[in-house]
Amino acid sequence: MSLRRTAVSLAFVFCVVIVEAGDVADFTITDARSSALGGPHTALADDFLTLHVNPAGLPFVEPHFSYAALSAGASGPVFTLAGIVIEGVAGTDLTTLLASPRVQESLQGIHARARLSGPLAFGFAGGGAGFGVYNDTELLIRATGSSRLEIRLGERFLLRGGYGFELPVPPGWNSRAAVGVGVKGFVRGDSVIATSFLTLPSLVDSIGPDLLSESPFELVSGLGIDVGLRFLWRDLLAAALTLDDAYSPYAVVAYQTLDGFLESTESPPPAYDRYPRRLNLGLAFTPSLGAAERYVQDLKVLLDYRDVLDFWTNPAGAENIVLKFGLGVEATFLRILSLRAGFSQGLLAAGLGLDFGFVELNTAMFGTELSREPGLRPVYNLLVGLEFRG
């Protein structure tokens, strides 16, 4: 395969899936609005994402359909990789380019992800119930040692459903309370290519159908249950608690080759495990703006403390307490423009949204910490998404 064709192929991958990040859990989706607000917030219940974050928020959401959604994102040194691709298109010899000290240094510790979510993305949420069906495609390039690279190309299908109902509250409280249960399931397939920095040029030269068909393939599937509570006081302050993955087992089947899976010539035994439970707490403050509501129709201040008990439920993977806090602020102007800012995992986030009624455009720039300590291995991400609804 020629250098120009290889470079154009890489450029296509990173430009079609331009602009997300962080390791996204198998049961979740990452959207631009919550990313700009410092991650998902358990006490926020005003859009379709409530189905994924807290099923107890479904009674508070106005019923609406999401007909389709499309989002594209990238994380890691995207601009560095784009520069390498441009050099390749310009005619630089492939072996010389990939073996150069500059490129080899840029691959040290690399963690780059490109993801395209949709167009399969539809569902219903509100009035106490919700469901959704989604798909996404992902390309992940990461260093697995001082001189080793792992390239993963994966496809995932996700289904979610939830039901919430209100609890009786004394009339004098001027409040509402609800409890909810969510169910979820996913199937994911990953083709895994492992190489070293030195053999990367020959790997790129061999790009083609045979490369994937002869590479290891992992099939992962799982089911899960979430539960949640939400309490709203005077339409002013909401408090919420969720227990994610109350019981969420999954299975991994590792095939030696993709052909072995497609042609059923291999039958490896599955390995079973269970996702650790995660207890999350959240607050949402929506003050009345009085005369200012002529220009600012909505203001939200959000605070969450996530995975409260990981030191007990998952001591080997427990994070620094700083990484558990999420803070977000959103203001809506003239009922169309929403400006957002957030703080999550010790890193800043920002974004905006444009609401045209039947379609909403959201963008986000945010950080993700890949280590368990703040600031040791941050990755910055870009995400843009469209949602069509009614």
Nearest to 133 by CA among 43, 56, 29: 29
Residue 85's contacts (CB-CB under 8 Å, 6 or more residues apart) are 7, 10, 11, 14
pLDDT for the residue 91: 61
> Is there a domain that residue 118 lies in?
yes
Element at 3 (helix H, strand E): helix 3-16
Q: How confident is the model at residue 385 (pLDDT cuts 50, 70, 90)?
A: very high
> Is there a domain that residue 163 lies in?
yes
Choice between 246 and 148, residue whose per-residue pLDDT is larger = 246
Average pLDDT rounded to a whole number, residues 207-228: 88
CA-to-CA separations, 292 to 66, 237, 337, 340, in angstroms, rounded: 31, 19, 15, 18
pLDDT at residue 380 tops 70: yes
> Is there a domain that residue 345 lies in?
no
Domain residues for the domain of 241 are 3-276
Average pLDDT rounded to a whole number, residues 62-77: 88
pLDDT at residue 313 tops 50: yes
Cα angle vertex 363, ends 357, 365, to 5°? 160
pLDDT in tens, 145-189: 777 888 889 999 999 999 999 999 998 899 999 999 999 999 999
> Is there a domain that residue 362 lies in?
no
> Is there a domain that residue 188 lies in?
yes
pLDDT at residue 217 tops 80: yes
pLDDT for the residue 86: 67
> Is there a domain that residue 78 lies in?
yes
Check: CB of residue 158 under 8 Å from CB of residue 195: no
User: Which range (85-89, 102-106, 319-323, 355-359) has the least confidence?
Assistant: 85-89
Phi then psi dihedrals of residue 377, to 5 deg:
-150, 70
Q: What is the mean pLDDT of the chain?
A: 85
Residue 234's contacts (CB-CB under 8 Å, 6 or more residues apart) are 174, 175
> Is there a domain that residue 381 lies in?
no
Q: How many CA atoms lie within 13 A of 206 on its CB side?
A: 13
Q: How many domains does the chain have?
A: 1
Nearest to 158 by CA among 31, 345, 27: 27
Q: How confident is the model at residue 20 (pLDDT cuts 50, 70, 90)?
A: very low
pLDDT at residue 104 tops 80: no
Residue 195, Cα to own-chain centre: how many angstroms?
26
CA distance 179 to 5: 55
The first and second tokens of residue 213, run together, are: 């068909």
Check: CB of residue 222 under 8 Å from CB of residue 250: yes
> Is there a domain that residue 145 lies in?
yes
Q: How confident is the model at residue 79 (pLDDT cuts 50, 70, 90)?
A: low
Q: How confident is the model at residue 8 (pLDDT cuts 50, 70, 90)?
A: very low
